[in-house]
Amino acid sequence: MKIVLLYLGRKGAGPEYALEMAKALSRKAEVMCIISTYVSNKHNWLSWAENNISVKIKELKTYNSITEFILKSFKFFLYLDSIRTINRFAPDMIYSPMSHPWERFIIPYCKCKLTVQTIHDVVLHEGENSFWNKLGRFMFSYKSTKKVILSNSFKNYLINKGMEESDILVIPHAVFKGYYLSENIIEDYTCYNRFLFFGRIIKYKGLEVLLEAMKGIAQKAPGAKLVIAGNGDITPYQTMIQECANNLDLHIGWIEDNQVERFFKEIDFVVLPYTHASQSGIIPLAYAFGKPVIATCIGGIPEQVEEGKTGILIQPGNVGELENAICDLLADSILLKMLKKNCYEYAAMNTWDSSAKMLIDCIES
């Protein structure tokens, strides 16, 4: 069996997601990976493929800025080499682990009957659903044979849009392990009195709800610290940040892959106060480090969080409920340690191999 994995993204969690899927698929098939020359974890791709006879790596020189993306997007000769490489490889399936605009100019011109595309956000989030984003999604979309979504909650949405149910594959997000820098994962049940908000700072992430809750948390648990680590504009939150500055540890900016571990290791749990969501890649990342989550009951998140076992679910936008959940968990070391233990067990069971098997079964059926 031959599979082409086409991933042209560069930064964020996408490169890690794509690499983990590539590794798992290579244990079951011969894999040709076409990646961006500028992908953030390129060294990991090349070192993995170096001694793996079932893997080939092909680089495509993409772009390093929005301007470069616009200028290069319609230079169609850029895609010809990738199209020829794919056709020479003669794959049984072309798989895109995270959609990219340039797939529109490559995949439809390849000689492969089965094309599979993972859609991480079936519906654009608040703050991302501008006219230009919608136009870009429309312009660069193509009709793949099947689509993978990460939770059942958006299955009916796609069916109502005209997709056949048999063409929709639900493959839950597996647990990230690649961000661990140390060789062995040591289970840590220490209570740090610190909790984490991680990732892009954008409207739908609900940071304003968390900062509002911090006012009460600071009074009930004055020694507690909220760590905010991520990239985005914090200008709208400046007043709220100043009001609880003594209980905040801010790290605003792009978080490189080799920095992720230090933010997750010395905290007790992760908070996701999202007001809109498909699902979250941060939840399986938290589980990989044995950290439970407090998250909103919205979108596909309830499918990722087992209430009372790997985390606590609250209603979106409810400041009081969020404040109580955080304070209760900080105060209950026995419950916290139990949740951490469950997260380690979850991480051990939910592997990329099981995700790859579900994808392979798509071909064989």
Mark whether 212 and 318 lie in a shared domain: yes
Nearest in space to 152 (alpha carbons), one of 295, 292, 294, 301: 301
The CA distance from 32 to 221, in Å, is 52
Task: Tell me: pLDDT of 312 over 60.
Answer: yes
pLDDT in tens, 39-91: 999 999 999 998 888 899 999 999 988 888 888 888 888 899 999 999 999 99
Mark whether 231 and 160 lie in a shared domain: no
Nearest in space to 217 (alpha carbons), one of 316, 308, 331: 331
Mark whether 139 and 277 lie in a shared domain: no
Domain count, the chain: 2
Mark whether 254 and 133 lie in a shared domain: no
Q: Which helix (H) or strand (E) holds 226?
A: strand 225-230
Mark whether 163 and 200 lie in a shared domain: no
Predicted local confidence at residue 51, as pLDDT: 83
Mark whether 253 and 150 lie in a shared domain: no
Q: Which residues contact 217 (CB under 8 A, 6 or more apart)?
A: 224, 226, 244, 247, 323, 326, 327
Nearest in space to 327 (alpha carbons), one of 247, 260, 265: 247
SS3 content of the chain, % helix, strand, coil (to 5): 45, 20, 35
CB 264 within 8 A of CB 347: no
pLDDT in tens, 84-127: 999 999 999 999 999 888 998 999 999 998 999 988 876 654 55
Q: Is residue 214 part of a domain?
A: yes
Q: Return mean pLDDT, the chain.
A: 88
- Give the pLDDT band (50/70/90) at residue 361: confident
Count of Cβ atoms closer than 10 Å to residue 252 Cβ: 14
| Global pTM value | 0.81
Q: Is residue 106 part of a domain?
A: yes
Note down the domain range covering 343: 194-349
Q: Is residue 22 part of a domain?
A: yes
The CA distance from 330 to 139, in Å, is 48
Predicted local confidence at residue 88, as pLDDT: 95
Higher pLDDT, 104 or 227: 227
Q: Which residues contact 167 (CB under 8 A, 6 or more apart)?
A: 145, 146, 147
Q: What is the CA radius of gyration of the chain?
A: 21
- Give the pLDDT band (50/70/90) at residue 12: confident
Mark whether 108 and 151 lie in a shared domain: yes
Q: What is the CATH number of the domain that holds 45?
A: 3.40.50.2000
Q: Is residue 183 part of a domain?
A: no
Task: Tell me: pLDDT of 155 over 90.
Answer: no
- The pair of structure tokens assigned to 352 is 């990329």
Q: Is residue 324 part of a domain?
A: yes
Q: Is residue 181 part of a domain?
A: no
The pLDDT of 322-342, averaged and rounded, is 95
Predicted local confidence at residue 180, as pLDDT: 65
Higher pLDDT, 307 or 299: 307
Count of Cβ atoms closer than 10 Å to residue 204 Cβ: 19
Query: What's the one-letter identity of residue 223?
Result: G
Predicted local confidence at residue 122, as pLDDT: 65
Mark whether 198 and 76 lie in a shared domain: no
Predicted local confidence at residue 134, as pLDDT: 52
What percentage of the chain has pLDDT greater than the value 70? 92
Predicted local confidence at residue 339, as pLDDT: 96
DSSP character at residue 253: S
Query: What's the one-letter identity of residue 146?
Result: K
Mark whether 30 and 132 lie in a shared domain: yes
Mark whether 165 and 18 lie in a shared domain: yes
Mark whether 130 and 201 lie in a shared domain: no
- Give the pLDDT band (50/70/90) at residue 181: low
Q: Is residue 189 part of a domain?
A: no
Provide the b/e sequence for 156-177 (b: ≥16 CB within 10 Å): eebeeeeeeeeebbebbbbbbb
Q: Is residue 21 part of a domain?
A: yes
Predicted local confidence at residue 182, as pLDDT: 59
- The pair of structure tokens assigned to 117 is 């595309």
Mark whether 155 and 277 lie in a shared domain: no
Predicted local confidence at residue 4, as pLDDT: 95
